[in-house]
Amino acid sequence: MGFFEKIKQAFTGEKPAEPTAAEKKYDEGLAKSRQTFGDKLNSLLANFRTVDEDFFDDLEETLIESDVGFETAVKISDELRQEVKLKNAKTKQAVSEVIIQKLIELYEQEGADEDAKLHFATDGPTVFLFVGVNGVGKTTTIGKLAYQLKKTGKRVLLAAGDTFRAGAIEQLAEWGRRVEVPVVQKPARSDPASVVYDAVKRAKTEKFDVLLVDTAGRLQNKVNLMKELEKISRVITREIPTAPQEVLLALDATTGQNALTQAKQFKDVTPVSGIVLTKLDGTAKGGIVLAIRNELHLPVKLVGLGEQLDDLQNFDPEKFVAGLFGGLLQSTDADQQQE
């Protein structure tokens, strides 16, 4: 059974079991994106008469408005021209199903060689370096991840490497108190690399399992940011040659295409191993994951699906697709029954 068939089966009354807690979180967290995406597609199809060039122009515009990205929208539209002819899709229901199928297939293809897992050291401390502009939820993500790792029995240490803002240090310290995890910090304006050095030494000496490092995100001064991140990375690698195991870029899903722009800029500044997509539950812009895959070829590794401590989830492509397109598949079935 193909990927599309499995997803469709899950939303046509043939689901074999109750959804898991993680599936429910994806379903709830993507409700806004699913509804908005469905509304846009249904609006496009409301005046459906025939599959012509005007239809494909409107489809392209609809996809761009859904934040799947310009390149992705054009690619999907071009491929659909051939697919619709090939399958001789003429009804509203048939065309809608082909659109969803093509979105899912493209999503699967772009992520075929993707590694969405977080990598941990086989020996000694694991180091995750977090980058991203201020306000995207980077520090909150670190706090929630620390909580979850601690729940699995790991000893976790945090490093307040964003010394540019006193508020960032205080915020991470507060998260440390909240989840009962120690934080290495120095006064504002201290050298970030010296904070990270102290944190790495402590992680090694006291045998912590995981060190999570916060950093500044001043993209308006790329040269200084690049030098700062390079210095931090050198300090980490000098002390632990296999680290950092992950360099995770935090992006705010609510900003849509701006998040994609930020990702491109950060890729120019520092190597990135994966994306943390925050605030996914508070946005209708879930389609940005398609754009990230198609245009950046960076794996999404963590997603924020709510405000609770356990609402930070490992990214699961199938759960994401089911959460984003499930309602649309249901609606196409309803249309089919009415026709």
The reply to whether omega before 125 is within 30° of 0 (cis) is no
134 is annotated as contributing to ligand binding = yes
111 is annotated as contributing to ligand binding = no
**Whole-number Å distance between alpha carbons of 168 and 187:** 11
38 is annotated as contributing to ligand binding = no
278 is annotated as contributing to ligand binding = yes
218 is annotated as contributing to ligand binding = yes
Exposed/middle/buried for 242, CB within 10 Å: 0-12, 13-18, 19+? middle
Which SS3 state, helix, strand or coil, does residue 51 take? coil
Residue 121 CB contacts under 8 Å (≥ 6 apart), including other chains = 127, 240, 242, 243, 245
Q: Compute CA distances 111 → 76, 107, 263, 290, 303, whole Å.
A: 15, 6, 17, 10, 16
| φ, ψ of residue 241 in degrees (nearest 5) | -55, -30
CA dihedral sign of residues 14, 19, 23, 28: positive
281 is annotated as contributing to ligand binding = yes
Exposed/middle/buried for 329, CB within 10 Å: 0-12, 13-18, 19+? buried
Contact 66, 325 (CB under 8 A): no
140 is annotated as contributing to ligand binding = no
186 is annotated as contributing to ligand binding = no
161 is annotated as contributing to ligand binding = no
DSSP 255: G
| φ, ψ of residue 13 in degrees (nearest 5) | 80, 10
137 is annotated as contributing to ligand binding = yes
272 is annotated as contributing to ligand binding = no
303 is annotated as contributing to ligand binding = no
CA dihedral sign of residues 127, 221, 256, 5: negative
DSSP 18: P
The residues that bridge with 158 in the sheet, in sequence order, are 183, 212
**Whole-number Å distance between alpha carbons of 122 and 130:** 20
Contact 118, 141 (CB under 8 A): no
69 is annotated as contributing to ligand binding = no
- Which residues fall in the annotated binding site? 132-139, 214-218, 278-281
- Which residues fall in the annotated binding site for GTP? 132-139, 214-218, 278-281
